Chain A
């Protein structure tokens, strides 16, 4: 086990450095091709050169290599990484440290992701079991068709449609009917910091919708496969009840790939939150990135994306290590 973890950690370091360098190199190239993002902030106006210079130093955009197209800016890369290591992620165009912004917004995103994961697990596994137990039955066709359909709807389209359907029409109607306040906060269009879980329920479900489809299919396939396995036949032959054969012997073994998928998906969900939080106007990390992207605040995006990618890689590493714990075949490959 120790050797397996050590090897995964050794592989992890070059991948992290490579990913960070990729982000750094492509954004530098973009800046080199387009010219100064600080000047671009002022549009057609021409502020005094001293102001521009001051801001360039503030945003770490003063390095001369950013004006030489094709230069990989290695010095700047090393500077950036050492700043990040000390917890300094720069400031945004209003002078607030990015690290503070992230710290404040992080809990919100985490809640959205947790809701999405719970949605995936409950609805996805439930639908998959229904479909898998009666292969080629009505439930199976319904689940298969709706999961194909769900995958085809881009997340932002789903978000926009759901927001209008539940938030605007249903929400207004509920407010007119004098519904209980918890129901109103579920179906309101805005994030309410007093109802920090309830008002994130629908955005979280939208975020999880795409993976609900994948998880129901994965559960279905894996259940159908295991249903024919020898150990299930043995369990039946021993005369166990149907409930026990399905619940304990089949389902538990079928859920191993599903649990792995949920782990990997957690990393993707944090990134997918950018679109969902942007649409539902939620003040999380995703909303921060969304606003920074639409307003062209390059220093903020570079810092936030770097952090998101780091989290994504760490989550993947943890899933890999856990998978090694669960499945000895991986460990001793």
Chain B
């Protein structure tokens, strides 16, 4: 804005609407803003702009939304009580009223599959939320303070990386008596937080070398201000991507552990339990008991992975 300022205008920076500016000026300022093509969008606005135009993202978020409603309100999807069973109808093949057939106990398999989403999704969300918070916290601390803080945190993550995921979970769940959602989640958090810590540490280190962080430091900004205003919003993108993918990975891990017999146990209803029962009976020709729970599990995991891929494409400008 090099034009000389007029009285009553908002000063040289007329884009900034100051108190006392007239209605028409406000209007023109808005117009000017909207009309400017080369506006700098933030990383997140840019990503949003890309995502709503990405068919892969839309399809996967619709699937995720469907699975989430199954978790929160399964009665939206089925009127049948999953525990209303009739033993005389055990393993019945799919029929008109029961499109997925019946389970070993003669319950409606469709209702069981719908209600079976809850434990998997609850565990995945709990574990992802906890690991994201822990990973962001420890990763930022390690990268920001460096020195012995970094050394301690990095060595601890090294140690956890020596323990492969499923084997570690198998070991600890087999010595625990409790097979509740909480026990399984706690073990998965204990084994999973180090991955995000490493990623966040690397990401924060990269951002810390940027000019605007040095500038903020030079201007005398406090540690807290640098971390919350500059580092977190710019460094957290990889954590968001990996967390989305790991939602799918934890759904799959829960089902795997349950299938192995160390995760959830009946009378809980879950995809892992349905698959492990179906596995035995599919050999005898009752294929529906295996195929439907497997399909739900695969589609859910696939949706989370596709969503993560779309997020990665939108958030990582280097790949474009």
Decide if A and B are genuine partners. yes
**Most chain A CB inside 10 Å of its own CB: which residue of B260, B262, B302, B309:** B260
Decide yes or no whether A72 CB sits under 8 A from chain B.
Answer: no
Decide yes or no whether B255 CB sits under 8 A from chain A.
Answer: yes
Closest chain A CB from B277 CB (angstroms): 11
Q: List 11 A-B contacts (CB under 8 A).
A: A15-B155, A15-B158, A18-B159, A34-B176, A152-B301, A155-B256, A156-B260, A157-B275, A160-B275, A274-B170, A275-B166
Decide yes or no whether A191 CB sits under 8 A from chain B.
Answer: no
Residue ID in chain A nearest B280 by CB atoms: A160
Number of A residues, CB within 8 Å of B: 52
Per the bound structure, the CA–CA distance linking A274 and B261 in Å amounts to: 13
Closest chain B CB from A128 CB (angstroms): 17
Q: Residues of B with Cβ closer than 8 Å to A?
A: 155-156, 158-160, 162-164, 166-168, 170-172, 174-178, 190, 248, 252, 255-256, 259-262, 275, 279, 282-283, 287, 290, 294, 297-298, 301-302, 305-306, 309
Chain A residue numbers with a CB within 8 Å of B171 are 23, 26-27, 293, 301-302, 305
Tell which of A14, A149, A298 touches B174, judged by Cβ atoms closer than 8 Å: A298
Per the bound structure, the CA–CA distance linking A305 and B262 in Å amounts to: 15
Interface string of A232-254 (1 = CB under 8 A from B): 00000000000000000000000
Chain B residue numbers with a CB within 8 Å of A153 are 298, 301
CB pair B290 A164 closer than 8 Å: yes
CB pair A148 B309 closer than 8 Å: yes
Tell which of A14, A26, A164 touches B282, judged by Cβ atoms closer than 8 Å: A164
Interface string of A205-235 (1 = CB under 8 A from B): 0000000000000000000000000000000
Query: Contacts A18-B158, A160-B290, A309-B164: A293 and B298 contacting too (C-beta < 8 A)?
Result: no
Closest chain A CB from B36 CB (angstroms): 34
Chain A residue numbers with a CB within 8 Å of B156 are 18
Query: Contacts A31-B175, A293-B174: A312 and B158 contacting too (C-beta < 8 A)?
Result: no
Residue ID in chain B nearest A279 by CB atoms: B279
Decide yes or no whether A50 CB sits under 8 A from chain B.
Answer: no
Closest chain B CB from A308 CB (angstroms): 6
Query: Contacts A149-B302, A157-B294, A309-B163: A18 and B155 contacting too (C-beta < 8 A)?
Result: yes
Closest chain A CB from B313 CB (angstroms): 12
CB pair A154 B174 closer than 8 Å: no
Decide yes or no whether A118 CB sits under 8 A from chain B.
Answer: no
Residue ID in chain A nearest B272 by CB atoms: A156
Residue ID in chain A nearest B252 by CB atoms: A154
Decide yes or no whether A313 CB sits under 8 A from chain B.
Answer: yes
CB pair B279 A296 closer than 8 Å: no
CB pair B261 A148 closer than 8 Å: no
Residue ID in chain A nearest B300 by CB atoms: A152
Query: Contacts A289-B170, A302-B171: A156 and B155 contacting too (C-beta < 8 A)?
Result: no
